[in-house]
């Protein structure tokens, strides 16, 4: 079981988000709530930007 946990902790899909969240928490005074709020707002911004690109592309292709 320890070997499984050790391999899972160092897996890139686990380690990289953990390092990113830890770095973000250090920048916002170690508050996990604020760090998650920053992550949520950044994700929302990226999603809005992606959807606007998709909308503009679909409008261009339809000819309107």
Domain boundaries, the chain: 2-62
How far from each other are the two terminal CA atoms of the chain, in whole angstroms? 59
- Which residue did the predictor score with more confidence, 9 or 58? 58
**Of 28, 56, 54, 55, nearest in space to 41 by CA:** 28
Tens of pLDDT, residue by residue over 3-49, are 766 777 777 887 888 888 888 878 877 777 887 888 888 889 989 99
The predicted pLDDT at position 23 comes to 85
Cβ–Cβ under 8 Å, residues 21 and 14:
no
């Amino acid at each position: 079981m320890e070997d499984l946990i050790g391999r899972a902790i160092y897996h890139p899909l686990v380690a990289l988000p953990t390092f990113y969240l830890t770095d973000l928490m250090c920048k916002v005074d170690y508050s996990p709530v604020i760090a998650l709020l920053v992550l949520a707002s950044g994700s929302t911004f990226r999603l809005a930007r992606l959807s606007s690109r998709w909308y503009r592309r679909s409008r261009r292709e339809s000819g309107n």
